[in-house]
Amino acid sequence: MAKTKYGKYICTELTKDIPLPAYREWERDMIGEGLVDGYRRGMEHVVWTDTKVVPVAFYSEIVWLWSPSMPNQRQRPRLTEAEIKKMMEKNPQAAQGMPPHAHPFPELLSFFGLDMEHPEELNGVVEFWMEDEKYVFDKSFCVYIPPNVTHCPLKVQHKTDKGFFHYTIGPGEMYI
């Protein structure tokens, strides 16, 4: 959208092939693909901005986290102890969620519940780490992460049939 004076600063479509750090590389080809094998992804990006998408913009990421009961949602398998152990041997990071990392810029990380009667309720649980401190949230929240502070792992768990919304933003040119 650039046909007006300020149109180049407006993002209405999800850009594909977003530069991601190595620990998120697996995600690149799925971002913005909609249904995968006929099913909706549990975590679906809406908009991403950085200097590649909007000149002079900073990084931001907007994501829906759909409830497992949402239509077209692939049912998550109930794994046995042996299956979990095998999966962990194959990919140790799988149970960790988003791995620990840091950015040279500050970041705001937020999750919001989608219950219109009780927007303060997350309707899920988010486990989040800042360096050696663990936080467990079951309410809508926003966290300020100072520059160069190691944060994560981050794990998300739904508690009801309502999804939630995730928004993160940082004044770096790119997420990397």
pLDDT of residue 134: 95
Asked if residue 132 is part of any domain, the answer here is no
Number of other CB atoms surrounding residue 55 within 10 Å:
9
pLDDT digits (tens, 9 = 90+) for 36-85: 777 777 778 888 899 888 888 889 999 888 877 777 776 666 667 776 66
End-to-end C-alpha distance for the chain, whole angstroms: 25
Please name which of 172, 176, 129 lies closest in space to residue 150, comparing C-alpha atoms: 129
pLDDT of residue 148: 96
- Assess whether pLDDT exceeds 90 at residue 145: yes
| Residues 81-92, mean pLDDT to the nearest whole number | 66
Asked if residue 42 is part of any domain, the answer here is yes
Minimum mean pLDDT among 8-22, 80-94, 116-130: which range?
80-94
State the residue range of the domain holding 165. Answer: 7-96+104-123+138-148+159-170
Burial degree of 128 (CB within 10 A; 0-12, 13-18, 19+): buried
Asked if residue 110 is part of any domain, the answer here is yes
The C-alpha angle 148, 134, 95, rounded to 5 degrees, equals 95
- The pair of three-digit structure tokens given for residue 125, joined into one six-digit string: 């649980």
* Helices and strands, number each (H, E), in the chain: 1, 8
Question: Can you say whether the dihedral through the CA atoms of 83, 73, 48, 164 is positive or negative?
Answer: negative
Minimum mean pLDDT among 19-33, 48-62, 123-137: which range?
19-33
Asked if residue 39 is part of any domain, the answer here is yes
CA–CA gap between residue 120 and residue 93 (Å, rounded): 31
Q: Binning pLDDT at 50, 70 and 90, where does residue 95 land?
A: low
Number of domains the chain is built from: 1
